[in-house]
Amino acid sequence: MASFDTRTVHAGRQDLRKLGVHAPPIDLSTTYPITGLEEARASIDRMMEGAEPDENPIYSRLHNPTVARFEAGIAQLEEAEAAVGFASGMAAMTACLLAARQRGERVVAVRPMYGGTDGLLSSGLLGVEVDWADAESVGAAIGPQTSLVIVETPANPTLQLVDIEHVVAQAGDVPVLVDSTFATPVLQQPLRHGAAMVLHSGTKFIGGHGDVIAGVVATSEAFARELRVVRSLTGGILHPRAAYDLHRGLQTLSLRVHKAQEGARLLAGRLHEHRAVGSVHYPGFQACDPKGLVGRQMAGPGSMLAFELVGGFDAALRVMEAVELITPAVSLGSTDTLIQHPAGLTHRKVDAEVRASHGITDGFLRLSVGVEDAEDLWQELGGILDGLSRA
């Protein structure tokens, strides 16, 4: 098998030579001419069961060739049998929960996790009941109606790492879904460690430029069929233009992740030494990785970090208002560096006591390091922190 970096360049492009093109085409058709009714009937019967079409895709909500090409690329990088693309990361998570609901009405979820996922699980909107657990008590939380275990590692926003193999062992026959958005396939492939499904918000590192919203789940063909049925019934299809951008993003994914990771290492070290900073959360620090998962489960610590300011909310407010080179914005994984305030933004709807129990305080900031020169980033951020110290 070719190296991972080589596969990022060629993944999902195996049919291009046969098509006689170098760049993947974009198929914007919403519907497809039916050449033979019997063949079309057979094709739609297959797709209604979650399988790929025989010949004619019939209608783009059921199948689109450009989306399928991106899905094939992600499946190859995650070493999965299949992948299913969605209109957003939350649409992907919703589909996973609706599919699981057909097997049982309860899920076990490990906090902390992305605030949107936490809010969806807490709402009961989908008829799914959640049993919250920590990574060590997943097994105790599983009951006869448990249909799915959900973990996020590294976790949003604290960068807490979860031992996937340990969770899978506790889960037994219950499938485990890992949100691996922060790690990307470059640094972590959860299916290798026993997970049944791996979810990515494609909006983040996979898109990589802050201009596309998407989600994707890599899994077995059996689970993929369940997800395709949900997607076709609920309409959460990924648009082909977005799929094209995401597929193009795969070619530079490894380059971007490794470059941003270099910058994060430098910034994490300097933040750790700064007197305006009370604590730094970064998987590259031994204290943040007591089980030694970086090197065993993850190929590197990544480019996400978080830090808590000594001055609390007032200090966080000053940092957010003072940055210029760094963009004050939610989301992550873009080529430019983003900083945000989880307690006030992405995790604002999470119960305050739950936030506090996981260290998401009012002085807590999350940093998504981009591909800029890290010294330039530190000149700005360090200067702002120096001002806080003097104050």
User: 4-250 and 254-390: same fold?
Assistant: no
Residue 293 DSSP one-character state: -
The CATH fold assigned to 4-250 is: Aspartate Aminotransferase; domain 2 (3.40.640)
Q: Which residues contact 293 (CB under 8 A, 6 or more apart)?
A: 161, 163, 283
- Of 179, 245, 289, 362, catalytic: 179
Q: What is the pLDDT of residue 54?
A: 73
Q: What is the pLDDT of residue 53?
A: 84
- Is 362 an active-site residue? no
Q: Is the pTM of this model over 0.75?
A: yes
Q: What is the pLDDT of residue 16?
A: 92
- Is 204 an active-site residue? yes
- Is 349 an active-site residue? no
Q: Give whole-number Cα distances, 218 to 80, 168, 199, 205, in Å.
A: 6, 17, 7, 16
- Of 13, 69, 106, 204, catalytic: 204
Q: What is the pLDDT of residue 178?
A: 98
Q: What is the pLDDT of residue 56?
A: 85
Coil, strand or helix at 148: strand
Q: What is the pLDDT of residue 349?
A: 87
Q: Give whole-number Cα distances, 243 to 27, 222, 232, 237, 365, in Å.
A: 10, 23, 17, 10, 31
CATH class, domain 254-390, is: alpha beta
- DSSP result, 13-44: -TTHHHHT-SSPP----SB---S-HHHHHHHH
CB 332 within 8 A of CB 304: yes
pLDDT under 70 in the chain at which residues? none
- Is 231 an active-site residue? no
Q: How many CB atoms lie within 10 A of CB 18?
A: 7
Q: What is the pLDDT of residue 194?
A: 98
Q: What is the pLDDT of residue 251?
A: 97
Q: What is the pLDDT of residue 112?
A: 96
Which amino acid is it at 346? T
Q: How many CB atoms lie within 10 A of CB 356?
A: 12
Domain ranges of the chain: 4-250, 254-390
- Of 27, 46, 59, 61, catalytic: 61
- Of 7, 111, 114, 131, catalytic: 114
> Distance between CA 70 and CA 217 in Å, rounded?
12
